[in-house]
Structure 1
Amino acid sequence: MRVSWFLLFLLMSVFLLSGCSLTSATRSDGLTAKPLVAKPLQPSAQQQLAIKRLSDILTHVDLTEEQQSEIYFQRAIRYDAMGLLHLAHFDFNQALKLKSDIAEAYNYLGIYYTLEQEYASAYDAFDSVQEINSEHTFSYLNRGIALYYGKRFELAVTDFSHFFSAKPTDPYAAIWLFLAQTEIDPKAAKQTLLKNRTQVEQSQWAVNIIDLYTGRIPVSQFYRSLLQGVSSETELAQQLCEAYFYLAKYFLMQNDKAQADVYFKLALANNVYEYVEHRYAQLELNKLVAVNVNQAVDAE
């Protein structure tokens, strides 16, 4: 599946950073016929050399347990940034075996358990983060996401509300709160998002996501915003990862699973491994496959 999509993107690629244009033909639903794509991010030489050096230290240097724990933790972060999640998972576990109070290691593990749909383990990991560091703000976002995918929407709303109260100018805090509230009361969720929009930093590109979700702008105008604030290929890759994930979620809310499938795959295309949107695009695709399988079984 990855290979076929990679070939597709090679055929569709428009590396638009210099002289970007949105003048391609437009379909009746307002989407451009050729989705914008960026050059997929690649692991840097520095990242790879850092892993080599950390591995050499573990192998050849006499370290205390606390020092070993730190080296495993640092190598895990670099594995994670390169999308090598199983290696990162192993190293975070090794770090915690040697030093059990590393809040950020539990935070990463909670994310990995969420991706594996092992929600009870994810909740435990995020609880451990907060026991070690009650001011670890992003553990509320990450636990909220785990609760959201675990269909515990009321608890997810509580965690997202906590995160939004800590970061009221962050559009993504408002967006995730909206996604969870929509599962409970779509009308109230939209009203809350409109209210929260007034607190969000208006210069941030992601305000366009809020405006799409609340009906302030159509999909075609959202699409025209995709290059807003972009000044490099890396920034383009990052912004498209975010844009396509939330556009896919929009189509899911319209019950258009085919379009959602396409845009979740586009969110994965640029290898922005560290972004929340890249992490959970794959989970969303897995859930769509499961739905299709269940529907096929029911139809027999």
Structure 2
Amino acid sequence: MIIRHIRYAVIATALVISGCSTAPTQWTQPPMAVPYQANFQQQIQLARIEQILQQPNIPPTTLATIYYDRGLLHDSLGLRDLARLDFNKSLTINPNQPDLFNVAGVLFTQMGMFDSAYESFDSTLDLAPEHPYAHRNRGIALYYGERYALANEDLLPHYLLNINDPYRVIWLYINDLKYTPEQARTLLQQRYAVSDKKDWGWQIVRMYLGEITEEQFLTEIAEQSKDNQQLALRLTEGYFYLAQTYQNKQDYPTAVMLYKLALAGNVYEFVEHRFSILELNRIFTAEENAAAASSSSSASVK
């Protein structure tokens, strides 16, 4: 069912906005959260960092940490270019930072600079072979770089380290749809069956398997989110992974709408927010290339 035509009965959204109990409201559009805004604490942290940087004779290791911390703050506020500048400054001072290489790799993936992303994740793993996220992030970068077999080599071992993490299962499934499409659903069912099913993210898997409908999935998010923060986080994830299903069906208008909804909460730090931007760029680029090819073909016929 196309999401834009579904009706939802939601309670949580009204509770979040008003702060008090109210009767269920009938919605004729998908639920949304109040977008994240830069909070006072983040602004104070940036101001303090600026003051510290004005001090003379800061030790190099301390300076590298300061630039890294400010880069993380800029990144959390969606200021990607400022974040990259800070990360570059930090790495120039101290190149022995596996976490920074990992973050840089994610940023390169979001920008579609896959070779740079691979190099960054390789650097992370050279410095910290047991890094908890580098294999997953490199696997995702390899997926977007259309190197599905190599992506599986990263994503599958990462999943086996924690079979109860739904997001490891989800990204394996997304890659399996390209790598082994005839087995993707069966593998998803098997991995779901052996999990403990405790994390909220398993609802996404249940939706993929058809155990719950899209309407039930989104209504549950709206009704059961305890506050606006949780609502924003879950909708960012929910809309992104729902968009994936429509994109795989080549329903690009609906996929584009859902990716835009995933961006609406301003949850900049989530990979689902980051990769919504990447997916939109990929869709728009494909459309532009198709239009250019069609125009060129028409011109040659004349």
TM-score by length of 2: 0.88
- Of 95, 101, 107, the residue aligned with 1:106 is 101
User: Within 5 A, what are the aligned runs for 1:3-42?
Assistant: 15-17=14-16, 19=21, 24=26, 33-42=28-37
Contact 1:137 1:166 in 2 (8 A): no
- Residue 209 of structure 1 corresponds to 204
What is the Cα deviation at residue 228 of structure 1? 6.0
Equivalenced residue count is 280
Task: Output the CA distance in 2 between the equivalents of 1:201 and 1:42.
Answer: 35
SS in 2 for 1:179: helix
* Helix, strand or coil at the partner of 2:221: coil
Alignment of 1:1-300 (within 5 A): 15-17=14-16, 19=21, 24=26, 33-227=28-222, 229-300=224-295
SS state of the match for residue 124, structure 2?
helix
Cα distance in structure 2, aligned partners of 1:239 and 1:53: 32
Question: CA separation in 2, counterparts of 1:244 and 1:264?
Answer: 6
- Secondary structure of the corresponding residue to residue 179 of structure 2: coil
% identical equivalent positions: 34
RMSD: 1.7
Report if aligned partners of 1:237, 1:272 keep a CA contact under 8 Å in 2.
yes
Whether the 8 Å contact between 2:31 and 2:222 is mirrored in structure 1 is no
Change (3 A) 1:89 1:23: same
1:62, CA displacement in angstroms? Answer: 2.2
* Code of the aligned partner of 2:234: Q
Greater relative contact order structure (CA < 8 Å, 6+ sep) = 2
- Give CA-to-partner distance per residue, 1:162-217, whole Å, 9 cap, x none: 22112211101100000001102223111111111124342322212111212222
Letter matched to residue 108 of structure 2: Y
Going from structure 1 to structure 2, the CA distance change for 1:196 and 1:91 (only over 3 Å counts) comes to same
Q: Where does structure 1 differ by over 6 angstroms across 4 or more consecutive aligned residues?
A: none
Q: Is the 8 A contact 1:16 1:38 kept in 2?
A: no
TM-score (norm. length: structure 1): 0.88
In 2: Cα distance, 1:185 partner to 1:243 partner: 24
Q: Does structure 2 conserve the Cα–Cα contact (< 8 Å) formed by 1:24 and 1:34?
A: no
Instruction: Kindly indicate whether the alpha-carbon contact (under 8 Å) linking 1:200 and 1:207 is maintained by their aligned counterparts in 2.
Output: no
Question: Aligned equivalents of 1:130 and 1:69: distance in 2?
Answer: 20
Residue 270 of structure 1: CA displacement?
A: 0.6
Report what 1:5 is aligned to.
none
